[in-house]
Structure 1
């Protein structure tokens, strides 16, 4: 009976899971891979022949209302457990499942894999930093009496710079919440798993990797094997022609600052105007992917931005409404800097393209990522926000000028250029990420 690998992804992390499946298939084209999820993604259409996609059906909403989207990310897989079990049993009739690889949000599936005796691994899209925080979280819970959300102090996770309590993901803040319980249960199941794959690579996370492998994140316990298999970057449908790419073609090399904040990165009208003031005063070329402020989806650019801004900056600026092809933009030779919300996929794209960053985190684990980007990787400048997260024009202008004009900025750009080479080497022949994949596959087959 042939061996097969099943990857189970939440809607939130389907694209990076597809990237992982493609990476595995590239090096093991004869190993069948099944991706299971409840979502639809354009990335699925471009998978290799050995990868198949199985979409789970939508279910009726639960009787108990789900409070927020993060809770929904955890609860949706739990509600799908009976359907997942039927799917895995059907797959097992034709092939031997040697690994069920779970997205972080699909933790509830551990109940199914345990019942069926399927070796279970986790795929952490936030890289080794996310792995270290998760593995160490049960220990933190045992040693700290107060809720993290009520604390005001720096915490030390092995292999990382000190992280202020307020910079941790909000789902870790309060013990009484459902998402906190999901987070803690996931951390404990990760400790008991067969192994952990992560979207990172040695060139940027070697100190974290050593801390995890040396057992520092699970004091007195057993740490599962860690496989750094990144950078994995989702390859969505290629964009051959876009107005902003044509505009970049006309710009000098390494002169443009790109601003983009992900699909959930929304700013208030006041913040958008402040951003425009900063870009105009900086004097530098810019490409800005701008989404309308919350609650105002139909406003025109003229209504959002300062009067006359578009006319005054037309020779050195380009504003894209809603969406820009981020991967293609970051890979363009005209782009020198990236103002980013610090989402993991965006960081990996920037590093793989050799683009220095200005860190403007907005939600989830992004503030934690900012600390690592600035203090450990030294690949970004920090933006300091006022109360409520507001960033002034003076602050953004100062950081754009620093990145583009100062010796500090030049050093960051040099470091990120080295990281670009390191990322390419990790995915090359005998690269560290390729070797990590070989070790994962060997572990799967040996375990079975």
Structure 2
């Protein structure tokens, strides 16, 4: 492994959502292993998430700053997973209040960082870095295709005519493969859900442009997966300071339970249940750390799983207390009793990496969040795609239409699936595996090749460290 000897000091600043924090902490582990000096900025309630990393790298320092209050957020809110999805723009706006405290910390530090590595949702750190006279590197927890499309929507916005027509088809001709989407799947990415002149809307508007103006762009992806989109990002950015360093995964000595935050006894119970199942017979159902399904969706999923006759492991996210309780996340009465022995329902944050890598898993019904996509690819598990919001629709296009390692089963956060159709797709994912297995197996090998020593992502990690180190001298 290439090791830096300069110890260049970097401030790592994750966005307080599990899907953003975990991959950036995995990257931080890699940077610390390569010899960089690191300070991680975190808010108090998220400090414990760093424990496995700090135990492995005692040299890593922390900068703990209070989570700023915002009138749209409940008191004590510090993590997106504990809030309804609509709250995340307010969290981004709230985090901007840390600009001045961070600036003062830099100005009073005896040996301040020479660079900032921050999440894509913390784009204002680009202006902070400019004011400090240092470099800011953007970390994207999404892929290069998603970044290409999001940037294109901002730089080359669609015409305003008929944008109230949610089903209007938008052709993205500047993007490789010229994808086409109905407007309702792009609108959130374009930030038009907020009125002109609204402080949050104005704050969001220039974020993507600030990210692209950063000193460099770091992606949790790999070139073999999205080569044409990485080329496109470099073309739009006007430079080649773009590094594909993924898939970023927990190390072998960092257990899946620790990574996910789930209870060790829960991980053990899940593993024991999967051990009783035959190889490639269990369908894993999970929609990420944020999505909470309404009760009609819950009923149709339960009915579809029951009708399919397949074994399943369903991770259910219950409604946050004080938000949507009673109308969301309720398991149909009697369902658990009827599927005893054939299905396992988990009402907690499940250790997904461990689950997907288990020999019993045959398919993954997923919301197509980027972390879930990468974890599925590393495990070599075919996916059943139900994108719900944001860039998930873009990820589904990559999986279903381009890579052909997934089947689209539903679309939209409020869409209610047909239980008979869902049952058919789930049953076929168990009985008809040949074509999907060949494609997923080939992509899995490419994924593992990218992250091993000498692979494309491994080399990009070394190049990133070298660039940071050379810029510090």
The TM tier, using the shorter chain, reads 0.7 to 0.9
Partner residue of 1:237? 258
Is 1:45 aligned to residue 51 of structure 2? yes
Give matches, 1:38-187, under 5 Å.
38=43, 40-47=46-53, 48-61=57-70, 68-91=86-109, 93-95=110-112, 97-141=113-157, 144-146=159-161, 150=165, 152-156=168-172, 157-160=174-177, 162-164=179-181, 165-168=183-186, 170-174=188-192, 176=196, 178-187=199-208
Distance across 1 between alignment mates of 2:164 and 2:108: 44
Contact 1:337–1:355 (8 Å) recurs in 2: yes
Deviation by residue 1:262-288 (Cα, 9 ceiling, x = unmatched): 222211222212111111111111111
Is 1:31 aligned to residue 36 of structure 2? yes
Partner residue of 2:311? 285
The counterpart of 2:440, out of the listed 396, 400, 416, is 416
Contact 1:171–1:180 (8 Å) recurs in 2: no
Partner residue of 2:374? 348
Contact 1:124–1:130 (8 Å) recurs in 2: no
Distance across 2 between alignment mates of 1:63 and 1:324: 29
Is 1:246 aligned to residue 272 of structure 2? yes
Deviation by residue 1:219-246 (Cα, 9 ceiling, x = unmatched): xx72462101111135661647432221
Partner residue of 1:324? 350
Deviation, 1:260, is 1.0
- CA pair 324-64 structure 1, distance change in 2 beyond 3 A: closer
Is 1:427 aligned to residue 427 of structure 2? no
The counterpart of 1:189, out of the listed 210, 214, 229, is 210
The counterpart of 2:27, out of the listed 12, 20, 23, is 20
Deviation by residue 1:126-149 (Cα, 9 ceiling, x = unmatched): 0212321243233222x6334856
The counterpart of 2:332, out of the listed 294, 301, 305, is 305
Partner residue of 1:212? 233
Distance across 1 between alignment mates of 2:392 and 2:400: 12
- CA pair 387-116 structure 1, distance change in 2 beyond 3 A: closer
Deviation by residue 1:313-362 (Cα, 9 ceiling, x = unmatched): 22321112233221111111100111111111111111111111111122
The counterpart of 2:387, out of the listed 361, 375, 396, is 361
Partner residue of 2:82? none
- CA pair 90-2 structure 1, distance change in 2 beyond 3 A: farther
Contact 1:44–1:53 (8 Å) recurs in 2: no
Other structure's SS at 2:314 match: strand
Unpaired runs of at least 5, structure 2: 1-5, 76-84
What's the TM-score once normalised by structure 1's chain length? 0.87
Deviation, 1:171, is 4.2
Deviation, 1:90, is 3.8
Distance across 1 between alignment mates of 2:292 and 2:279: 29
Distance across 2 between alignment mates of 1:147 and 1:50: 55
- CA pair 31-388 structure 1, distance change in 2 beyond 3 A: closer
Contact 1:276–1:306 (8 Å) recurs in 2: no
Deviation by residue 1:36-69 (Cα, 9 ceiling, x = unmatched): 1325154411112343322211334369999942
Is 1:8 aligned to residue 13 of structure 2? yes
Q: CA RMSD in A?
A: 3.0
- CA pair 161-282 structure 1, distance change in 2 beyond 3 A: farther
Partner residue of 1:443? 467
Moved more, 10-19 or 195-204: 10-19
Other structure's SS at 2:441 match: helix
Distance across 2 between alignment mates of 1:173 and 1:402: 38
Deviation by residue 1:72-117 (Cα, 9 ceiling, x = unmatched): 23212211101111222344x225x332112111112222211110
Deviation, 1:163, is 3.7
What's the TM-score once normalised by structure 2's chain length? 0.83
